[in-house]
Structure 1
Amino acid sequence: MLQTRRSRPSLFSAAWLSPASIARTIVLLLLLLVGWSTVPAAAWARTETAPTAQQTPAQSIQPYLDRVIQQITEFRLSNGMKFIVLERHQAPVISFLTYADVGGADEPDGKTGVAHFLEHLAFKGTTRIGTVDYKAEAPLLDKLDRLAAQIQTATAQGQKAKLDTLKAEFAKVEAAAAKLVKQNELGRIVEQAGGVGLNANTSTDATRYFYSFPSNKLELWMSLESERFLEPVFREFHKEQDVILEERRLRTDNSPIGQMIEAFSDVAFKVHPYRRPVIGYNQDIQGLTRKDVQAFYDTHYAPNNLSIAIVGDVNPAEVKRLAQLYFGRFKAKPAPPEVVAAEPAQTELREVTLKLETQPWYLEGYHRPALKHPDDVIYDMIASILSEGRTSRLYRSLVEKQQLALNAAGFSGFPGNKFPNLMLFYALTAPGHTVNEVAAALRVEIDRLKTELVSVTELDRVKTQARAGLLRSLDSDMGMAQALLEYDVKTGSWRNLFKQIDEIAAVTPQAVQRIAQATFVPQNRTIGKLLPKA
């Protein structure tokens, strides 16, 4: 995560949480809190215009999808690293996305936040990038680690005099190490070569690194990205530790919504690591060492756990040649350990209530299966029926008609979708009304899906929205890179992305009712109430 992104969470500190600002920014905050597990297609720069679902019936979209499929090439290096290449020659630009199949869910207990910490450090350079003299720098970094451990021990033992001495020495060594650092050298190289959008994000499920280059800089990207993960140096570790702790204060500790999301997740999940925050717990972040990050990197950044999508003005044969030259240097490693914790079926209503300096909020979540489940598209349809925009049932009923809430919406796939997850709904209570009124009104709309078949007209509307969402992802090179990798890693093949049109078309009112009746039951419900202090 680059420094340009660190200013974002400050928008959500307690001082900014007015009713109007919360209503406008809740989705963005939720994305921040869960580590940007999904990136809206509209956020990516567009390079090609696809047909819109409004202009094109479902059957005429397929030829466009077929043309995209024909432009995709995939290959795997002998070390296990996967590449997906999509040729698009409309503009002399290439978008690159490196997808590490590791996120917050893969962290050991007691080491939460290490995946996100590693993402930060991946921008600090290598033995050649980001340093004046690595041979002189390396022993200073090791000495800082030793001093940090001694400071931690002296603090625990209350040895004030020794602590003061150690801190003074630490500051001296840190200053010496800083003189050998070339700040943001990777960023400067990318910018000087015409690159844009250098950034990354960590979610519960994955860590993604991305930016775009002019098409004549393909080999430069191969060189920079391969070296970044071949010989990373986790310099400025302790400074970055302070930055991450500040991020947590802004996102969670000073944010009523942040505190609620963390408490809600911990109640909704009892076993699965989805219960833990991607940014980590304070105590864990403070206790992480450079050795911990290195061990996590060595385990999870194996070439067979990395996938790369390259979309734009490229020649697949040249991509493969350069990939073998640069990324073929990575040594094969054993497969990283998989997440084996399985969340047991919820058997009773769960509830969490917080009283803070805030406007009243209501949250309600229901367990649902992972992305690769055959009913995934139906869950997404239900989320759209209830909460997709101002034509959705929740908005029309709770906000416009009854005026119980200033905002009411939700989404499927919280806090990730690689594993079984939640369908989450939320509402900001309107002045003069209570969260209990909002809860009752929301339940009425949910129960309607169980007792009344959705009309063909309404279902067609959300099918149109779903097709439009898929087409918007195809409309962006970076959005396409993201979508291809998400589906390839989480479902076993990128081709499943393009099967969505048929899956959307096949959804019936009876299928919606079947899933609603199985999902929206009291024993599968988790409630969160965020109440103002009396």
Structure 2
Amino acid sequence: MMKSLMRRAIVPLFLLLMAAGTASAFDFSDIESRVVEFRLNNGLKVLVLPREEAPVASFVTMVNVGGADDPKGSTGIAHLFEHMAFKGTKEIGTSNLSNELKWMAEEDRIFKQIFEEKAKGAAADTSLLAKLEEELQKASDSAGQYVVPNEYGQIVEREGGVGLNAFTSYDVTAYHMSFPANRLELWMAMEADRFTNPVLREVYKEKHVIAEERRMRTESSPQGKLVEEFISAAYKAHPYHNSLVGHMSDIMNYNRMDALQFFKKYYVPSNMVVVIVGDVQPENARQLAEKYLGKIPAGPKPAPILTEEPPQISERRITVRDKAQPVYLCGFPIPHSTHPDLPALEALADYLGQGRTSQLYKSLVKEKRLAIQAVAFAGFPGVKYPSLFGIYAMPAKDKTNAENEQEILAIIEKVKSELIPAEEVEKIKARA
């Protein structure tokens, strides 16, 4: 049995600050002073931090879009496009673009028929659907004849690149890799190409890959189920309640045009930031960025999510039953990342549940042996909008979620009424 609990948090955060001493945390001012920032004419912001320790450079393209921005009925589409960004462009990933596009259009035509037939619900013709699915597979196979698998990644590897990857969170999507420093221009050209001329090839095949990802991470994972139910219970109105990987019916129903429209809306220079760190001269980076990244078409910056989660007026409690190790998860509403209380909340998470010297670990794991794990964290499932302060515990053998909850709430009550020792605050600042 796994439980989660959300309460309205009223924690006197100023107690953390009153106990602070005079020692300072790591000083980032030197690094900050060396960052060169410029903005291209199309609105793209670029940050460059020269570091000459080794002849390499690392690159991150951050897009201000995540799972919270998924349109209704298309949960997981931000994650889908992340996959599509590695499928290539008009130049990369194909042996014959013209023939490939013809078969891709045929895929779209057939899938539209499938969607329309499924929309009939119980009246849908199952034999027709089976026939259309066969036709879709044949069209996909025909388009696949012209696909050069993973050509984008092969070019990166051949030119000495490493760490090619990406991630999608509720708030952002980020693409990253490292290259030898003398491949700066190649990275610029390839990054500009994939965000100017993406070809969403193999989209219907990739949907099945993502569906399997959902089965593994959520539907076949007791903890995955708990987290999804937990977030859904925490947010009634705000789209943080979306499934990040997508609900299965949405995954199977969206099409190539849905993903392309999402790309056109959010992947605009004014909604993106490029970060370059390494053996790079800022002026050279600026010139190359203007030459390549400056060609990405400008577009209006998407509006932020305006839906606000209404105040929570009562406790919300859920129980997920499964044949699994018990897990306890609770959350307390907290403000967004730019709120002045957020640093104190992050410090509180460190004090309560980060590492073997934290209060939760010492009490639940070491002293009372109620749990084998105990962790606290601030900013879940995202930080762009008001989120949650979370506490996670995995009960020890023959111990229960209820016993862990009782001790967790007692520790929270204690920290609300007592100053955190000054020496603990200094340790937190040193780790920051």
| TM-score interval for Structure 1 and Structure 2 normalised by the shorter chain | over 0.9
Report the CA distance between 1:67 and its aligned residue: 2.5
Would the alpha carbon gap of residues 211 and 128 (structure 1) be closer, same or farther in structure 2, given more than 3 Å must change? same
Pick from 400, 404, 421: which aligns with 1:438? 404
DSSP 3-state at the match of 1:363: strand
What corresponds to 2:87 in structure 1? 124
Report whether the alignment pairs 1:211 with 2:174.
no
Which amino acid counterpart does residue 325 of structure 2 have in structure 1? Q
User: Per-residue displacement from partner, 1:436-485 (whole Å, max 9, x unpaired)?
Assistant: 1110000111111111111112222222222xxxxxxxxxxxxxxxxxxx
Corresponding position: 1:148 with 2:118: no
Q: In structure 2, what residue type is equivalent to 1:190?
A: V
**1:81 aligns to what?**
44
Distance across 1 between alignment mates of 2:24 and 2:130: 72
Distance 1:95 1:247, change over 3 A: same
% of aligned pairs identical? Answer: 42
Task: Assess if the C-alpha contact under 8 Å between 2:162 and 2:179 holds in 1.
Answer: yes
Q: Quote the residue 1:182 is aligned against.
A: 148
State the distance in 2 between where 1:91 and 1:132 align. 37
Partner of 2:30: 67
Shift, 1:410, TM fit: 1.8
Counterparts of 1:125 and 1:323 in 2: how far apart (Å)? 20
Partners of 1:458 and 1:220 lie apart in 2 by: 48
1:455 counterpart = 2:421 = yes
Deviation above 3 Å: which 4+ runs of structure 1?
Answer: 57-62, 152-158
Could you say which residue in structure 1 is the equivalent of 2:64? 101
Q: State the SS of the aligned residue for 2:195.
A: helix
The alpha carbon displacement at 1:60 in A equals 8.7
Partner of 2:366: 400
Deviation at 1:154, TM superposition (A): 3.9
* 1:327 paired to 2:293: yes
> What secondary structure, in the 3-state scheme, does the structure 2 residue paired with 1:419 have?
coil
The SS at the match of 1:464 is helix
Q: Which residue of 2 aligns with 1:529?
A: none
Q: Distance in 2 between matches of 1:456 and 1:149?
A: 64
Candidates 302, 309, 317, aligned match of 2:283: 317
Is 1:388 matched with 2:323?
no
Q: For the residues of structure 2 that align with 1:341 and 1:400, how far apart are their CA atoms?
A: 43
Shift of 1:58: 4.6
User: Within the alignment, does 1:243 sit opposite 2:209 as a pair?
Assistant: yes
The 5 Å alignment of 1:221-240 reads 221-240=187-206
Query: 2:19 corresponds to which residue?
Result: none
Aligned residues: 410
Corresponding letter in the other structure for 1:87: P
Aligned partner of residue 428 in structure 1, secondary structure? strand
Q: Which residue of 1 aligns with 2:11?
A: none
* CA–CA separation in structure 1 for the residues paired with 2:392 and 2:202: 39
CA shift, 1:61, in A, is: 4.3
Does residue 1:110 correspond to 2:76, yes or no? no
Deviation of residue 111 (structure 1)?
1.1
Question: Per-residue deviation at 1:169?
Answer: 2.2
Measured against aligned partners, the alpha-carbon deviations of 1:247-303 in whole angstroms (never above 9, x if no partner) come to 000000001111111111111111111111211111111111111001111100111
Q: What does residue 90 of structure 1 align with?
A: 53
Residue 164 (structure 1) aligned with residue 127 (structure 2): no
- Tell me how far apart the structure 1 counterparts of residues 285 and 417 of structure 2 sit (CA, whole Å): 54
Of residues 284, 299, 307, the one that matches 2:265 is: 299
Cα distance, 1:70–1:225 mapped onto 2, change above 3 Å: same
Give the SS at the match of 2:237.
coil
Cα deviation digits, residues 187-207 of structure 1 (max 9, x gap) = 000000000000000000000
From the superposition, tell whether residues 61 and 443 of structure 1 become closer, same or farther in structure 2 (CA, over 3 Å).
closer
Q: What is the CA-CA distance between 1:59 and the residue it aligns to?
A: 5.0
CA distance in 2, matches of 1:444, 1:116: 39
Cα displacement string for residues 293-349 of structure 1 (whole angstroms, at most 9, x for unaligned residues): 011111001110011000000010010101111111122211212111111221211
Using the size of structure 2 for normalisation, the TM-score is 0.92
**What's the TM-score once normalised by structure 1's chain length?**
0.75
Deviation per CA, 1:186-239, whole angstroms, max 9, x where unpaired?
000000000000000000000000000000000000000000000000000011
- 1:265 correspondence with 2:231: yes
Q: Give the residue type in structure 1 aligned to 2:216.
A: L
Q: Which amino acid in 1 is paired with 2:388?
A: L
1:139 and 1:398, CA in 2 relative to 1: closer, same or farther beyond 3 A?
same
User: Residue 469 of structure 1 aligns with which residue?
Assistant: none
With over 3 angstroms needed to count, the CA separation of the structure-2 counterparts of 1:133 and 1:102, relative to structure 1, is same
* Counterpart Cα distance in 2 of 1:185 and 1:412: 39
Q: Separation in 1 of the partners of 2:396 and 2:127? A: 55
Shift of 1:162: 2.4
Matched to 2:182, the amino acid is: N
Tell me which protein shows more helix as a share of its residues: 1
- 1:285 and 2:248 are equivalent in the alignment: no
Unaligned 5+ segments in structure 2 are 1-21
Distance (whole Å) between structure 2 residues aligned to residue 460 and residue 61 of structure 1: 12
The residue identity in structure 1 corresponding to 2:253 is G
- Are residues 315 and 415 of structure 1, via their aligned partners in 2, closer, same or farther at CA, if it must alter by over 3 Å? same
Residue type matched to 2:137 in 1? A
Structure scoring higher RCO (CA < 8 A, sep ≥ 6) equals: 2
Q: Is the 8 A contact 2:265 2:302 kept in 1?
A: yes
Whether 1:409 aligns to 2:375 is yes
Match of 2:316 among 340, 350, 358: 350
- Alpha-carbon separation, structure 2, partners of 1:60 and 1:337: 36
Q: Aligned-pair distance for 1:170?
A: 2.0
